[in-house]
Structures are given as C-alpha cells and as structure tokens.
Chain A
C-alpha cells in the first residue's frame, strides 16, 4: 500500500500554462506539505497545511496555491508556469507534532519540466 502518492510522476509543459499536481496520503495524518527540490537537490518547504492552518513560505510566488478537498488530499496548482518552476515537487505528510519530534513521509515526487 502506497503511503503518500503523487500524480503525475512526470509533467512536461510550456511556459504560461496552468497545471496541477495531486497528492494523496492514506496514513491518517493531519498535516500535509509541499516541497520543491531544485537541480542542486536543495529541498525547500513551500507550504504546510492541516485542517486548521495554512502556512505559506513567504518566498513562494502567489502563482502557486495549495488546495485541500479533504484531510487526505493536498493538491498543488500552478498558474502561468515559468522556466524557473522546473524542479521536482514532493508532497509529504505527518501527524500533528506534539512534544519532541515527528516524522514526515514523502511521496515519490513529480518532475516538472517547463519548456
């Protein structure tokens, strides 16, 4: 059983287009995330979201927007795609952290290529 799944695995599109990446987790977790991993493998948080709060990384352009139809899904919509948006996007989930630490479970990633 796949814990965190993403679709599509690969996405090639032209500049200016609007696209969505879907994410689903079957772990019963309360918090979901989107990360961007650039060509140098740097993994950067874009959003974290639970049913109470959306936390946005202030460096993320407003062309990116997360949408959550329910607790198990967090989709990423990207408007007016730019060349610099090319990267691998990872979805992740975790329980609401209590005292101490928590684990994030990552999806397999979506490689987005903007031409």
Chain B
C-alpha cells in the first residue's frame, strides 16, 4: 500500500505554462517535505510545511499543506526549462523517518 499518492506521474508542458502537482494520503503527517531530483543526482529539499493550511512560496513555486495535514500541493507559475526534474513529496511518519511518494516527472520545453 502506497502511503503517499502523487499526481500526475508525468507532466510535459511548454515554457510559461502553470502547473500543479498533488500529494495525497489518508494518513496524517507531522510535516511534509517537497524535494526536486535532477538526473544523476540526489533529491534536494525545496520546502518543509508543518502547520495545517500553511502556504509557503519559493520564487515561482507555491506549496500548500492541507488543513488536516494529509495532503499537499505544489504550484509552479510560468514554468521554465530549469524547473525540469522529478518532484518528490515526503511525509514524516515517525522518529527520523520519511516516506516518499512515487514522484512527478516534470518536463518543461522551451
């Protein structure tokens, strides 16, 4: 059973378009993190959300944590080719333990 479901699994868009990636679960998380992974590299943390309903912005990226702390979304405005990568959400389920979603592969074409 997959604890965290990410959608869509793959997204191919043109530069300048907006997009939203979703991360859903039936479990409650004490925190939720979003990572981006580029080919041949390890995941790099983008943001951590802790409080239900919390919204965080990182330049053109907007992250939201659901009120019940079971889901999250990542919205990218005016996507650029440099945003291309695998986006992973990860929920903190216990002491020093993260569970990852299966990821959303984003391809932004010029």
Contacts and interface: CB of A to CB of B under 8 A. Distances in A.
B97 A41 contact: no
Nearest to B94: A55
Contacts of B95: 97
Contacts, number: 63
Contacts of A40: 102
A102 B33 CA distance: 9
A71 B63 CA distance: 34
Interface residues of A, number: 26
Interface residues of B, number: 25
Interface of B: 30-31, 33, 37, 40-45, 48-50, 86, 88, 92, 95-100, 102-103, 105
Contacts of A4: 42
28 contacts: A41-B37, A41-B86, A42-B102, A43-B43, A43-B88, A43-B100, A45-B97, A45-B98, A48-B96, A48-B97, A90-B43, A92-B42, A94-B96, A96-B96, A97-B95, A101-B31, A101-B49, A101-B92, A102-B92, A103-B33, A103-B45, A104-B45, A106-B42, A106-B43, A106-B44, A108-B42, A109-B40, A109-B42
